[in-house]
A and B are shown apart, each in its own frame.
Chain A
């Protein structure tokens, strides 16, 4: 047994991101001045961009490294880049908000970078140990971000709730992982897949997989493990909510797909029914529970639960087409959410953030551009063609039909029609109700850019779908060996 230090080159993106987070931390601690938070924020965005370039430089080829602890492949690359984009936008969106709320501190972008490092580790994990460590790195930073407005009870409460339920789900995941290790003799995904190929799964292993799936379902907030989501989304500062609904969700879903399809792919008959059940429950709850919401952040929480339900259809299919559907869905979901939260962050009245849905009344008359953008995002989320959200659902349902899961596709269409009600209701309130008073002008150039970019992506996806769909096609193929 003479192991040597492995080559760290494959972990270059993670290492660069971690190192830049630490450099920015030191820089922020020694800098004085009124705009430190903003400067560190922009430097953080640059670091994320460089990391994305590093991730992309590895290409689509599948390569296992660091003694099987991590894997670089097209699937990981696609999801990593999505996560990095989400994190970058989250930092930009938080700048002005934090300054206005008096919490403009340089630790915010640093924590976002650290949690993004954890997300990259999750996405490229090839072992249950690196999966767990990445997950904890991500989560621990997220708990702090949730309670970043520490003088507000709501924010602290959100952080505490997130922490307690996150710890619970981590416990379940670890319990499942220990069962898997006990019955399959390994935590490595390659070895697990190999072992399962050779022998039948014992009941203990299946219980272990169920626990791992429960832990991961907590992280993607799929029903029935969703109960933390609305409270945390409502209580956390709005830019943090935007971050939660974009980056961690993408990373956790990537992890879910990799564990299920790659490591436990042989047992697809065993876990398919679980995934179908949570997918159906998430779609139904996402559609029905959102109808009664008055707070737009709570509404977005239920909407994200519903979206996870749709994405999980692709996982239930368990085919390359299904994984491609998930990748396309998540890419479009990320941009829809960035745009929607961008608009939410722009709506202030008398210096306070407007969060009630009724308060949006007459937005079309006071701020027509913002209203138009929000209408685009809402129609896209409802899945109305020709916007991008329609194609996201289209690829998923196609995959479900190819895998002969007809009733799942039908249920998906039905729930998305029900869900369309509350999305379209927002548009109705903005365009046809009497205005309740003017919104504060001056939303800032960076917020305009954020909303504009995401609106462009959603609008013109139909014209140029190939960058996303083509990359998703190549990426999903790398997850299925042979």
Chain B
């Protein structure tokens, strides 16, 4: 038990600390690296909670794909982040005030957490017991039955994202020479070849 508690506080502390570093780091590449660290620790928290599938998905998708993509974008685009940040200080008082109000609200709310007795019964879609099925199977059972409607709709959202990206960026360029195999195969000798009779000492 004590080991678990130590692990939890360790992971949680590193997650929060690296979260702060993501916005505080001067170098954007360092920011992204701290983001990856935060993802890893969040995955650790998931493992502690017994959700190993989510933990692995977090590492594979967020670290493996999203964060690496971020890294590429940050390195490819030469953005001067110091310049972007120059106006930020003047918004700090307002932002800090809003954050403070939110924090106080949250403390008030979670300090007075009372869940009614019927809340426990109505908890939406409890997972199957972890002893019976594996994590992955349990998620699959829910996704393809109870949540199949929204699962399919999420697929539609991805389709829209794909269509949108193509609509906004694809341009039919006219200055590119494309290989057209049909034209190449259908070419006749007469189209390209001309036999010229060259008389001696007259040139072409």
Give the interface of A toward B (CB within 8 A): 1, 3-6, 11, 18, 22, 25, 66-67, 69-70, 105, 107, 110-111, 114-115, 117-118, 121, 129-130, 133-134, 136-137, 140-141, 143-144, 147-148, 150, 179, 181, 183-188, 191, 194-195, 198-200, 202-204, 207
Assembled-state Cα–Cα distance A1/B163 (Å): 38
B34-49: contact bitstring with A at CB < 8 Å (1 yes, 0 no)? 0000000000000000
**Is B78 an interface residue when CB atoms closer than 8 A count as contact?**
no
Q: Determine, out of B13-21, B119-127, B189-197, the stretch whose residues face the partner at the interface.
A: B119-127
Assembled-state Cα–Cα distance A191/B157 (Å): 27
Q: Determine, out of B54-62, B68-76, B109-117, B176-184, the stretch whose residues face the partner at the interface.
A: B109-117
Contact B149 A183 (CB under 8 A): no
Give the interface of B toward A (CB within 8 A): 105, 108-110, 112-124, 126, 128, 141-142, 144-150, 153-154, 156-157, 159-161, 163-164, 166-168
Contact A186 B122 (CB under 8 A): yes
**Are A191 and B156 CB-contacts (below 8 A) given A129-B147, A204-B113?**
no
**Are A185 and B164 CB-contacts (below 8 A) given A121-B153, A129-B147?**
no
Contact A183 B115 (CB under 8 A): yes
**Are A204 and B160 CB-contacts (below 8 A) given A1-B128, A70-B149, A133-B153?**
no
Q: Which of B112, B119, B128, B156 has a CB less than 8 Å from the CB of A184?
A: B119
Contact A3 B161 (CB under 8 A): no
CB distance from B167 to the nearest CB of A (A): 5
Given contacts A188-B124, A198-B116, A200-B116, 20 further A-B contacts (CB under 8 A): A1-B141, A3-B145, A5-B145, A25-B163, A67-B149, A107-B166, A129-B147, A129-B150, A133-B153, A133-B157, A140-B161, A144-B168, A150-B167, A181-B124, A183-B113, A185-B120, A187-B124, A202-B115, A204-B113, A207-B105
Contact A137 B156 (CB under 8 A): yes
Measured between beta carbons, the chain A residues less than 8 angstroms from B120 are 185
Contact B116 A136 (CB under 8 A): no
Assembled-state Cα–Cα distance A115/B154 (Å): 13
> 17 A-B pairs, CB-CB below 8 angstroms?
A3-B141, A66-B149, A115-B160, A133-B153, A137-B157, A140-B157, A141-B164, A143-B164, A144-B167, A147-B168, A183-B115, A185-B119, A185-B123, A186-B122, A194-B122, A202-B113, A207-B105
Measured between beta carbons, the chain A residues less than 8 angstroms from B156 are 18, 114, 117-118, 137
Measured between beta carbons, the chain A residues less than 8 angstroms from B145 are 3-6, 67
Contact B164 A111 (CB under 8 A): yes
Measured between beta carbons, the chain A residues less than 8 angstroms from B164 are 111, 140-141, 143-144
**Are A150 and B168 CB-contacts (below 8 A) given A18-B156, A114-B160?**
yes
Assembled-state Cα–Cα distance A134/B149 (Å): 10
Measured between beta carbons, the chain B residues less than 8 angstroms from A136 are 157
Measured between beta carbons, the chain A residues less than 8 angstroms from B146 are 3, 67
Contact B148 A5 (CB under 8 A): yes
Assembled-state Cα–Cα distance A69/B159 (Å): 21
CB distance from B169 to the nearest CB of A (A): 8
**Are A204 and B150 CB-contacts (below 8 A) given A111-B160, A185-B124?**
no
Q: Which residue of A lies closest to B127 (CB)?
A: A1
CB distance from B172 to the nearest CB of A (A): 11
CB distance from A418 to the nearest CB of B (A): 32
Q: Which residue of A lies closest to B119 (CB)?
A: A185
Q: Which of A3, A110, A179 has a CB less than 8 Å from the CB of B163?
A: A110
Which 10 A-B residue pairs are closest in the complex by CB-CB distance? Answer: A3-B145, A199-B116, A144-B164, A185-B119, A204-B109, A185-B123, A66-B149, A69-B149, A186-B124, A1-B128
Measured between beta carbons, the chain B residues less than 8 angstroms from A4 are 145
Contact A185 B122 (CB under 8 A): yes
Q: Which of B110, B113, B160 has a CB less than 8 Å from the CB of A144?
A: B160
Measured between beta carbons, the chain A residues less than 8 angstroms from B108 are 203
CB distance from B154 to the nearest CB of A (A): 6
Assembled-state Cα–Cα distance A130/B168 (Å): 28
CB distance from A360 to the nearest CB of B (A): 33
Measured between beta carbons, the chain B residues less than 8 angstroms from A111 are 160, 163-164, 167
Assembled-state Cα–Cα distance A25/B142 (Å): 31
Assembled-state Cα–Cα distance A424/B82 (Å): 51
Assembled-state Cα–Cα distance A114/B157 (Å): 9
Contact B167 A148 (CB under 8 A): yes
